[in-house]
Structure 1
Amino acid sequence: MLYITGDTHGDYDRFEDKAVRRLKQGDVLVVCGDFGFVWDGGKREQKILKKLGKKKYTILFVPGSGDNYDLLREYPEETVYGAPARRIEQGVYQLLTGQFYDIDGKRLLAFGGGESMDQDIIGRELFCDQLPTKAELDVFCQQHAGEKTDLVVSYEPPYAIASFLDLEAKADSYYGLYLDTISRQIEFKQWFFGKHHVDKRVTPRYMGVFEKVVPYR
């Protein structure tokens, strides 16, 4: 079965929660951004990733604004659930933006990346390439207009949803505005996003996720 949750921020205790421990062999847990376990590449981090890879369920994630994109690019790509993904460990994969995955009889569209105000110690914005380019998003819209999917998982919500919630919505946020466009150009049943740390159904089709583990049936 397919389950959705929000940002884990490198907190292993999230995977010790009762709701997560109930997951069974063959289940899939999708994290909507800020996975946080690929950050410094150190021994402690690698040890935790190996523990995650030994879970009886599969862990998938889209990156948010709190993941190390430079490190993520070092992991190998392989095909899982019918589309390319980065294998972090056996059983732990990064879903790639704009890819459709067939999981447990459901079709999932992934949109990673997110805008952040974080800066490093020299005042330079962290991971300036953590967002898809406008050109990449244009190509997606051209190639997939009218396409159908069961669910969309992302870190950022479409701008209209963030604006409705008044959650740091910015009219100059090109990614949020593009997600608005994509939401109108594809057919989908549910959209889950993790950026704003809320467990809240905004409309019948949009849901913010954080600590809850939401089954998708």
Structure 2
Amino acid sequence: MTKSDITIIAGDFGGVWHEGRRDDIQLALLEDLPFTMAFVDGNHENFDALAKYPVSEWNGGKVQFIRPHVIHLMRGQVFTLEGHTFFTMGGASSHDIEDGILDMDDPNFRGKHIHLLLENQRHFRIRGRSWWPEELPCAEEYAEARRNLDAHGWTVDHIITHSPPTSFAAILNRPKDELTDFLEELRQRASYRRWLFGHCHGDRMLDEKHQLVYRQIVRLI
């Protein structure tokens, strides 16, 4: 492989998290790999840290260059890679927050935190530390996705997302939300060859066009 080869992560990249030297070391290792690494964002990203990177244009869509060959493919974009078109839409609803989301500005934060740990209620997140509301797209990101799809006649070769559409979320025991509903509209309306998504921690071919990926690497081109 060479830097002209592109590997795409279907969300939960996590390489931009701590900010500073700890990220720099890991990102340097990724930059040294013998290929270009691109990713759509998942729900487990530090969106505050990610937002600090400038937005650029690359192969027809908006990106953030984390490193020259580590690239965030932003939401609602259409990219042309080696003559194939790719629609990308990051984001998903966190499913490991049944015990709540804590806010460090809450004067009772410490007590609530200790209580959850003592009660062995570990499915909680902390706002701005391990959970961000930006895990789901905003109205403008949906609008931009629709504009870009309109410009391509809702026809692309490949779709890469983190969340599944609602019909597959139901099969995989994940709840529906506004993003899965948007993706379900995309599934029913768009013309495409393959759709790969992550989020559900498994490797599974759902039908001839839709594939859940986790550890598996799938060659598309």
TM range (shorter): 0.7 to 0.9
The residue aligned with 2:146 is 141
Deviation at 1:26, TM superposition (A): 1.7
Of structures 1 and 2, the one scoring higher in RCO (CA 8 A, sep 6+) is: 1
TM-score (normalised: structure 2): 0.80
CA separation in 2, counterparts of 1:142 and 1:25?
Answer: 31
Q: Where in structure 2 are there 5+ consecutive unaligned residues? A: 105-124
Structure 1, 151-160 or 124-133: larger mean CA deviation: 124-133
Report the alpha carbon displacement of residue 51 of structure 1 after superposing the two structures with TM.
Answer: 1.8
State the partner residue of 1:166: 172
Report if the CA contact (8 A) 1:148-1:188 is conserved. Answer: yes
Alignment RMSD (CA, Å): 1.9
Cα–Cα, structure 1 residues 143 and 29, in superposed 2: closer, same or farther, change >3 Å? closer
Q: Which amino acid aligns with 2:137?
A: P
The TM-score, its normalising length taken from structure 1, stands at: 0.81
| TM-aligned CA distance change 1:135 to 1:90, over 3 Å | closer
Tell me, which stretches of 5 or more residues in structure 1 are unaligned? Answer: 1-22
Mapped to 1, the partners of 2:191 and 2:66 lie a distance apart of: 30
Secondary structure class of the residue paired with 2:134: coil
> Do residues 84 (structure 1) and 77 (structure 2) align?
no
Q: Deviations over 1:74-105 (max 9, x none)?
A: 01222222222001001001001111111122
Instruction: Go from structure 1 to structure 2 and tell me whether the alpha carbon gap of 1:143 and 1:150 turns closer, same or farther (over 3 Å shift).
Output: closer
Aligned length: 192
Q: Distance in 1 between matches of 2:50 and 2:75?
A: 13
Query: What is the aligned partner in structure 1 of residue 200 from structure 2?
Result: 196
Between 1:86-95 and 1:109-118, the stretch displaced more is 109-118
Amino acid at match of 1:158: P
C-alpha distance in 2 between matches for 1:74 and 1:193: 26
Identical aligned pairs, as a percentage? 24
Matched, 1:155 2:162: yes
After the TM superposition, which residues 1-217 of structure 1 pair with which residues of structure 2 at under 5 Å, given as runs? Answer: 23-116=1-94, 117-118=96-97, 119-120=101-102, 122=104, 125=127, 126-134=131-139, 136-138=141-143, 140-141=145-146, 144-145=149-150, 146-163=153-170, 165-170=171-176, 173-217=177-221
Rounded to whole Å, the distance in 2 between the matches of 1:64 and 1:189 is: 22
